[in-house]
Structure 1
Amino acid sequence: MKKAYFKAKDNTNKVAFPMILDYFENLEKKNKDFEHNSSDETLKYQEMALNNVLDFARENNEFYEKRIQNLTFSELSEIPLLLKENIRGEKDLIQCVPNEQIGQLHLTSGTTGKPTYISYTLADQYIYDLLPQYNGLFPFGPDDIVGIALPYEFALPALGFQRLFQFVFGSMVLSLGKGGYMAPVDKALDLLKEYQPSVIATTPSYAALLYDEAISLGFDPKDFKIERFILTGEGCSFTFRKQLEDKWNCKMTFFYGSTEIGLIAKECIAQNGYHICEGHVFVEILGKDGNPALPGEMGDIVVSTLLREGMPMIRYHTEDKGFISEEKCDCGCGMKKLFLFGRERDQIHLKEGKFPPLVLENVLLKSNFITLWYQFIIENEVLKIRCEKQSDNMSDNEIILEIKKLFKENFGINCEVEITNDIPKHKGKNQRVFYKE
């Protein structure tokens, strides 16, 4: 039998982080929002919260006991990074409570190997996740009806959003799913028409698919009167987002999270960077040498959870790149902003250099004559773009010349272009980059 790393204590009636409960109770008594804390107040809270997590993890898990030793928040950089490869397929490695206390198990998609198992206690789900409330980032309430068009199987996002909207904002939720057997797209559109939700949480590609299906079935998307989309689960460029906003006639804000961590950061209505949800997580940016990057300097995003007892993540290396800005935001939220730049391993390698896919997408979609559906095919470090024609106002050859010019002028890339009408429209995570041997 495989070794279990958690120490099987009887914690059934124990509150893991009583000081956290007291902190937010006092904040509520002062009628104060966490997101409007000063930077010093937030840092003081994060030090207290993370020291609680370090104590809890070392007391309840042998793996963490050896890694953390007697280190505290001020010595955080001495704790080794927790890598995806450490926890992939290891369901007990960082679990800090016995299975009897686990209320929910989530899995990552496992697209790059074995899945990662993430265990949540009921307190994680219904107390700690919902304690810090960011009312400026989530300006919703009981009058809102929310459609959640995300997968409910295995992964966290759909159920996480459902808990948030039901238990924090008191909103009515439509569990739309993402086109599965019990949630086909046409039924989802019927439900949207019937209940007129004000908010939809989904992926960028599924928002595009819903629009295309609505048009093909004779719906006018503007009749749905949706006020806001929350886009998550996969990246998209600003140009992609802008086209979606024009199609649906509403604002769209990005949400950054993961099954391993949960909520990390959320974009406000200003659409200029993600506010780090500093009540839930402590985020570090590390430079190439592994030392903390300076404010505004690009580096690796490392996240520690502040409110997780079932399976706390301590210095988890997300493999994402980004930088933190401490500039004040027009929205009034005091939490720092995170700017994302994708993953190093996802960059496209061409003869002309390395390019983030979303940077290429941002320029590609500046053409007004193609749809949101495209593919980047890379063979022998040469880029071929397959894309759909949007209208007959321009010939195939004119579109090809326009796209080639865009890529040459913006990136110095000599690309091939194919106009086609058979780009797959997936309901799951949309793959846009393909390598041919």
Structure 2
Amino acid sequence: MTADHHHPAPADEQPIPYYWQSVDWPKLMVDYPPPPHFARTTGQLSADAMRALQNERFMARVADAWAIPFYAERWRAAGLGPGDIRSLDDIDRIPTFTSDDLKQAIAAAPPFGNHHPIGRDDFGVLPLKIQTSGGTTGMPRMTLFDPIAWEVQAIQVARALYAQGARPGDIIQIPYTTSLANAGWCAYTAAHNWLGCVPATTGSGLVTPTERQIDLARAWGTNVWFARGEYLGRIAEVAAASGFDLKELPTKFIHSYLGPDTEGIVRKRLEEAWGVPIYDNYGSHEVGLISWECQARDHKHISEDTVYCQLVGVDDRQPIAEGGVGNLVVTSLHRSMPPFIRYNLRDLLTLYPHATCACGVSSRKLSTFLGRSDEMVKLRGTNVYPLACQNAVVADPRNTGDFLCVAEFRGEGLGRREEMTVRIERRSTDIDAGQLAVDMRHALHRDLGAKVDVEIVEAGSLAPFTRMGGEGKVRRLLDLRK
């Protein structure tokens, strides 16, 4: 027997789908250019050229969707047949769907749902990864990622980080846990695979205490952070309490998610504490980083070669023109595992026309995140969104910034009505709770256009409800109406 003799594989041995062989990497980089190529190629396309590219990818995704029960059944029920959607101009004929429909799809065909093109018996043919939504209520939504979905998601983040100032060799500290939620994974894969940066996956404050996060950043020379605005505030508080000035860190910038910071209050306070620019970004579990701020900070660029964005009315779901406010409806242009076509995220935003930015990139843009329409509370005829409380709460230095809106029904019969109490943490027991409550009621009435009750609570008491400093998205609504 010679040294190079190969034994034949057993007949029942299944081939291993090696990840490194699962993608045509040069083609992927041409189709979805990572930095720095993006700004020189796809990022330079005119509105018409981008529309043509989107149309080609949209039609490919429509073809994928007709083979999937979730879409085929819904589209036929809406009067559509194969061949009826001939271009992106027909997209409004396709019915939208929401996360509630995805939950029903999973319930109808557990555990993976009938919205995926494959089932459990098909696993092992190509590399797959299971990720979920934040799971703020009930079982989190599960989504399968194939290599294309996984890597393009990372390229989206890499584009943002590069535009904001990340370069090879930077150490990016990521205080998200690399868990079923994919935000931490997006940052890690972007840094490691597509930027030549060094990811430091420290995890949330539950995994690596905030004091230790600061110690590690000081020891390693962390110069970029990828973190939520709420947690950046927590780091600033802990640093101040220990007498450490965050400006002593070699931080260049921070990639963050600031929520409905419409008046820039959160950004201003964080930049004062950290002494560096903080860039706001927006994305979702299923379709990745939809939009990101460049250094011009003039709204957020949409990665238009990966996602097509529309706005629809909250109630009637009818199209809303650019410049208006409505629910964001997204169509992923790169995902086949699974497709996401006309997915109503129920996030309120404004969409701006295609234009060339001061940074040189041409794209449509999105506004600051304005709130979630599915968390609306109707108070005496006024629609109130819990996240709209943020500006008033964080603007008052007597508050920690953590708050929780409690919605409930009060009264019986014809007198039954919706009410909302905003629980707000005061910084210390030395602060007059009565006066703070009065002031916050006035401030919230001004911002919300409706009166709400206010309950002042002690610092740290809301964390078990809001998950401040923990895993996943911070919760702002405790809905007792259900």
Query: Please, what TM-score do these two structures have when normalized by structure 2?
Result: 0.77
Preserved contact between residue 263 and residue 280 of structure 1 (Cα < 8 Å): no
**What's the CA shift for 1:159?**
0.6
Q: Which of 34, 42, 49 in structure 2 is aligned with 1:34?
A: 42
Q: Which of 394, 399, 402 in structure 2 is aligned with 1:365?
A: 394
Per the alignment, residue 87 of structure 2 pairs with: 73
Per the alignment, residue 324 of structure 1 pairs with: 351
Preserved contact between residue 404 and residue 477 of structure 2 (Cα < 8 Å): yes
**What's the CA shift for 1:206?**
1.6
Aligned equivalents of 1:31, 1:253: Cα separation in 2: 18
Unaligned runs of 5+ in 1: 1-10
Larger radius of gyration: 2
**What's the CA shift for 1:94?**
2.4
Aligned equivalents of 1:28, 1:232: Cα separation in 2: 23
Per the alignment, residue 140 of structure 2 pairs with: 115
Of 27-36 and 364-373, more deviation after overlay is shown by: 27-36
Aligned equivalents of 2:419, 2:179: Cα separation in 1: 37
2:370 alignment partner AA: F
| 1:130-145 matches, cutoff 5 A | 130=155, 134=159, 137-145=163-171
Unaligned runs of 5+ in 2: 1-16, 76-80, 411-417
The alpha-carbon distance between structure 1 residues 38 and 139, as it changes in their structure 2 partners (threshold 3 A), is farther
Aligned equivalents of 2:365, 2:275: Cα separation in 1: 26
Q: Which of 428, 451, 462 in structure 2 is aligned with 1:424?
A: 462
2:462 alignment partner AA: P
The alignment-based identity, stated in percent, is 21
* Superposed CA RMSD: 3.6
Describe the superposition over 1:353-388 as per-residue Cα deviations: whole angstroms up to 9, x where unpaired: 222233332133332333323334456455544434
**What's the CA shift for 1:147?**
0.8
Q: Which of 294, 306, 324 in structure 1 is aligned with 2:321?
A: 294
Of 261-270 and 401-410, more deviation after overlay is shown by: 401-410
1:333 alignment partner AA: V
Aligned equivalents of 2:332, 2:24: Cα separation in 1: 14
| 1:185-204 matches, cutoff 5 A | 185-204=210-229
Preserved contact between residue 146 and residue 174 of structure 1 (Cα < 8 Å): yes
| 1:33-432 matches, cutoff 5 A | 33-58=41-66, 61-65=68-72, 67=75, 69-70=82-83, 71-74=85-88, 75-88=90-103, 89=106, 90=109, 91-97=112-118, 98-100=122-124, 101-126=126-151, 129-130=154-155, 134=159, 137-181=163-207, 183-232=208-257, 236=261, 238-287=264-313, 288-326=315-353, 328=355, 329-339=357-367, 340-351=369-380, 353-378=382-407, 380=410, 381-390=418-427, 396=433, 398-411=435-448, 413-422=450-459, 423-425=461-463, 426=468, 427-428=470-471, 429-432=473-476
The alpha-carbon distance between structure 1 residues 127 and 284, as it changes in their structure 2 partners (threshold 3 A), is closer
**What's the CA shift for 1:99?**
1.9
| SS class of match (1:93) | coil
Preserved contact between residue 279 and residue 306 of structure 1 (Cα < 8 Å): yes
Describe the superposition over 1:378-429 as per-residue Cα deviations: whole angstroms up to 9, x where unpaired: 5645554443445799755554443344344555544554444333343233
Aligned equivalents of 2:116, 2:478: Cα separation in 1: 36
The alpha-carbon distance between structure 1 residues 16 and 355, as it changes in their structure 2 partners (threshold 3 A), is farther
Describe the superposition over 1:234-255 as per-residue Cα deviations: whole angstroms up to 9, x where unpaired: 6555322322222222222222
Aligned equivalents of 2:156, 2:274: Cα separation in 1: 32
**What's the CA shift for 1:215?**
3.0
Aligned equivalents of 2:189, 2:435: Cα separation in 1: 49
Aligned equivalents of 1:338, 1:86: Cα separation in 2: 25
Of 196-205 and 11-20, more deviation after overlay is shown by: 11-20
Aligned equivalents of 2:41, 2:376: Cα separation in 1: 39
| SS class of match (2:311) | strand
The alpha-carbon distance between structure 1 residues 284 and 386, as it changes in their structure 2 partners (threshold 3 A), is closer
**What's the CA shift for 1:134?**
3.3
2:285 alignment partner AA: T
Aligned equivalents of 2:36, 2:272: Cα separation in 1: 39
Describe the superposition over 1:82-128 as per-residue Cα deviations: whole angstroms up to 9, x where unpaired: 33233223514222353222421101233333322111112332367
Preserved contact between residue 425 and residue 462 of structure 2 (Cα < 8 Å): no
**What's the CA shift for 1:141?**
1.2
Aligned equivalents of 2:280, 2:167: Cα separation in 1: 19
Aligned equivalents of 2:371, 2:115: Cα separation in 1: 26
Preserved contact between residue 367 and residue 402 of structure 1 (Cα < 8 Å): no
The alpha-carbon distance between structure 1 residues 14 and 82, as it changes in their structure 2 partners (threshold 3 A), is farther
Of 357-366 and 277-286, more deviation after overlay is shown by: 357-366
Aligned equivalents of 1:292, 1:322: Cα separation in 2: 13
| SS class of match (2:115) | coil
Per the alignment, residue 3 of structure 1 pairs with: none
Of 80-89 and 297-306, more deviation after overlay is shown by: 80-89
Of 265-274 and 142-151, more deviation after overlay is shown by: 265-274
Per the alignment, residue 433 of structure 1 pairs with: 477
The alpha-carbon distance between structure 1 residues 106 and 191, as it changes in their structure 2 partners (threshold 3 A), is same
